[in-house]
Amino acid sequence: MLTFLKQLFVWWNQQTLGTRIQTIFFGKFVGKDSFGNKYYQNKNGKRWVIYNGEIEATKISDEWYSWIHHTNNKIENLHDIKKHKWQKPHLSNKTGTDESYHPNRESNELGKKYKSWKK
């Protein structure tokens, strides 16, 4: 019951009731990415994504980013993409979380606002 109420009133907690109805009646499932996001398209060409978990636009991988923005590229078939060993997997934005990047995390200089010049 709580999940239904969240979908009814809270737009940032996965999909709303209107999006669910549109997906059921008019949406054609196109694919799913490595994060578990599901991508849909209707007959008129409108495209949308149902996020897995919290809604965050940086969770869309680069393969699906060009598709959802109607950008044509050389890769037409999204399911046959081969990645090289040197390519890193797509990560969502970690700013403001404990997993964010800090250059001095190992030397424990996170709490300091300055570096002392005397030792």
29-59 confidence digits (pLDDT tens)? 999 988 899 999 999 999 999 988 778 888 8
In a domain, 21, yes or no: yes
pLDDT exceeds cutoff 60 at 65: yes
In a domain, 105, yes or no: no
Helix (H) or strand (E) holding 65: helix 62-68
Q: Give the domain extent around 68.
A: 2-80
- What is the chain's mean pLDDT, rounded? 77
In a domain, 117, yes or no: no
In a domain, 90, yes or no: no
In a domain, 22, yes or no: yes
> Which of 16-25, 28-37, 69-78, 92-101 has the lowest average pLDDT?
69-78
Model pTM? 0.59
The count of domains in the chain is 1
Share of the chain above pLDDT 70, in %: 68
* Neighbour order of strands in the sheet with 28-32: 28-32, 38-41, 47-50
In a domain, 119, yes or no: no
